[in-house]
Amino acid sequence: MLVHGIREARGRQSSRLLWSWSRTTAWRHVKLVMADADIEGPQATPKGPRHGYGVAAISATVPLNMLSKWMGHAAVQTTALYANALGKEQRSITERMAS
């Protein structure tokens, strides 16, 4: 994983922070971006864009094993959860199958 590679390159004993933002600052930025994009509800979290990416990749028929690698999942079964799309994504997939 990228984070592990960064830590190894810096040396495990490094006392410097890995990220310059605190968790609270990052959350504040995410909330602002979500509000600007008119995204609300449970998808208005840092995981929202990640989930959207996974669903979009599934909708674009990216193979599960490839998406699993891109998303850093240890098991393809984790990635398969993105295939359980609901709402608009599900309708889109259904329409593609019918055409």
50 by DSSP, 3-state: which?
helix
Q: Check residue 3 and give its pLDDT.
A: 53
Question: What pLDDT is stored for residue 21 in this prediction?
Answer: 83
Where do the structural domains in the chain lie, given as residue ranges?
17-98
Residue-wise pLDDT for 30-75, tens only, equals 889 989 989 888 778 888 888 888 888 888 888 989 999 999 999 9
pLDDT of residue 1: 45
- Residue 14 pLDDT greater than 70, yes or no: no
Tokens describing residue 53: 């990416």
- DSSP symbols for 12-50: TT--S-SSSS-HHHHHHHHHHHHHHTT--GGGSSTHHHH
Range 34-57 burial, b when 16+ CB lie within 10 A, else e: beeeeeeeeebeeebbeeeebbeb
